[in-house]
Structure 1
Amino acid sequence: MKTMKLPKEQRDQVIQRIQQYFEEERDETIGDLAADGVFDFFMSHLAPIVYNQALSDSRHLVRQQMSSLEEDLYALEYQIKQTR
């Protein structure tokens, strides 16, 4: 899978949030480099799982929509009366 790249502004925000999390939840102060390492770890290990789940959810939604569309199309068909 191709590595996901975030714009610098988003990456900086995530790194800031990681630092904030460590400060508030663990009472630890970590620097930019450590937070960047945490971010890279999760992006390489968690992102593919989330990505695959999003694809699975999308496939499920598309199947539902196609089924509904197919039902709507059948409802539009003219009923042909058989005469004998």
Structure 2
Amino acid sequence: MKRIEFSREETKAMVGEIQDYFREELDQRIGDIPAEMLMRFFAEKMGPYFYNRGLYDAQAVLMQRMDELTDAVYALEQKTNFVR
């Protein structure tokens, strides 16, 4: 599997979210480096779970749409004496 990589801007935004969480929920401050290390840990260890869930959800949507398309194609079929 290809490694999940984030741009510097994405990393900075996520680090800020971690710092906000620590401050608001835990009443603690966390520096940039520890916050980035935590973000990278979660990206490496937990990221694949979230990534796979996204793939499963996308696959379910595609399957539903394919079923709808199949039904739409069958609805176009005209009656003949030929039986499949």
TM-score by length of 1: 0.89
Displacement of 1:81 after TM fit? 4.4
Q: Does residue 11 of the first structure (1) align with residue 8 of the second (2)? A: no
Please list every run of 5 or more consecutive structure 2 residues that lacks an aligned counterpart in the other structure. none
Q: Separation in 1 of the partners of 2:39 and 2:57?
A: 25
Q: Does residue 59 of the first structure (1) align with residue 59 of the second (2)? A: yes
Partner of 2:50: 50
Partner of 2:75: 75
Q: Separation in 1 of the partners of 2:68 and 2:10?
A: 38
Name segments (4+ residues, structure 1) moved above 4 Å. none
Displacement of 1:23 after TM fit? 1.2
Q: Separation in 2 of the partners of 1:22 and 1:5?
A: 24
TM-score by length of 2: 0.89
Q: Separation in 1 of the partners of 2:11 and 2:5?
A: 9
- Percent identical pairs in the alignment equals 34
Displacement of 1:80 after TM fit? 1.1
Partner of 1:41: 41
Q: Provide the aligned length of Structure 1 versus Structure 2.
A: 82
Please list every run of 5 or more consecutive structure 1 residues that lacks an aligned counterpart in the other structure. none
| Larger Cα-atom Rg | 1
Q: Separation in 1 of the partners of 2:17 and 2:66?
A: 40
